[in-house]
Structure 1
Amino acid sequence: MAKRWIEKGYNTTTVLNSVGLAASTYYYNITKESREEQALTKKQTGRKIPGYSLNKKGEKIPDELIKEYLCELITGDGFPYGYKKLGICLKEDYKLIINHKKVYRLCKELDILRPQRKIYPKRPKKLAKREKITGPK
């Protein structure tokens, strides 16, 4: 009801005081509604993926060619590298300017990511037996 009065042009503070509603509650609910509307209309977040990377000379190298480079890198050694080391190899061997996050995305598309290591819970330490001490041995 307070929203209707405020939309008609009445002073927000006066309306909220008369209704007994805190201003923070009113504004929180307004932003919550606008966030829900944005979530329904907006599907992709972040910027569009460009589809290329640059090399040291400034030339555009398409992602498909970078995927071929990645396949070449993993075939020789039996693929002992993670995506960060593959990114370093791309920078050194092919003189690319590429981010490790992009290398991760491309490796994920190629399905060449190494399986994630399992972290096992630490085993509890064994406690000493409680023996009654009668004297020195």
Structure 2
Amino acid sequence: MIDYKSLNQKENEAKLIKLLSENQEEEKSIPAETNQPFSLALYDKDLYIGGITANKWMNATHISLLAINKNYRGKGYGAQLLKKAEAFAVESGSSLITINTQDYQAKTFYENYGYQVFGQLADTPFIGTTKYYLVKRI
């Protein structure tokens, strides 16, 4: 009998990744790699002012989060964090970097650093805003 059961998200994700990795090896004869996380925080003395997180898997790095405290924006810190994530991507063997952003966030910022929109979704994650998906080949 088939049952639907709740399962801790972390445990469920590990099981799903295992299934997907097995399928990838079977279908493409390419063994899956272990995810390589990247996380960097920015401080002014003891005050947390921002940071960046990313994950490298196979030939791609995805920047998950990048944010700077509004009082520190426009001083180049976001660009520095982005460049450090890009260096991580290059050093770890990625051939591309992806990121997503909202229309009211940093689309132009990423475009200024060579990222190109490859997709968008209107009214996501709420009505009246658009989510953009960007990529940079490195």
Q: TM-score, normalised by structure 1?
A: 0.21
Q: Which has the higher strand share?
A: 2
Q: Which has the higher helix share?
A: 1
Q: TM-score, normalised by structure 2?
A: 0.21
> Greater CA radius of gyration, 1 or 2?
1
